[in-house]
Amino acid sequence: MSTIAERTAVLTGETAISDFYGIQDIGVEEEGLRDEPSPWDCPPLGSGEWVATSPNIVRPKTSPGAALCICCEGWDEEPPDDGSWPHVWTGEIYLSTGRISALSMTGGYIHRNWVLDLGRRATTWRVRIRRKFLDNDREPLFPRDIYQVDLYMLQFWPQST
């Protein structure tokens, strides 16, 4: 089992983000793929839900104005499970180009905080989202200088046929 790509983004609500939109396949807009589903058409979260998906977007629920740290990983097969996260969601998402970015909006402008190329186009991916609140600096997968933040780990791997 191996990780094919990894990227971490630290997003702070007070300084960099007024509205985190989600993890989006940015290649749809960049390449002008009009026949592909728009990542802007994500349905709202239902009652009691903390993750919404539609083709080309996954939107975990975040606390408005809260500090936020996101780590995304691409795997070539299902990654090992880790029972230390109190909130876990697993589902699937279709990505047109496989080029994803954490999107936020500040002052009416859209920001792509980083780009991660998962290396496969037109693929349905399994995705596991883990969430927890960190109030110290002991989480090894995230920067040591963060505290009192919502941590999100998103792991993507191709769906088995």
Spell out the CATH class of 3-158: mainly beta
At 65 the pLDDT is 63
Domain boundaries, the chain: 3-158
Region 69-76: mean pLDDT is 86
Please give, one letter per residue, the 3-state secondary structure of the chain.
CCEEEEEEEEECCCCCCCEEEEEEECHHHHCCCCCCCCCCCCCCCCCCCCEEEECCEEEECCCCCCCEEEEEEEECCCCCCCCCCCEEEEEEEEECCCEEEEEEEECCEEEEEEEEECCCCCEEEEEEEEEEEECCCCCCCCCCCCCCEEEEEEEEEECCC
Is 67 or 21 the better-scoring residue by pLDDT? 21
At 1 the pLDDT is 37
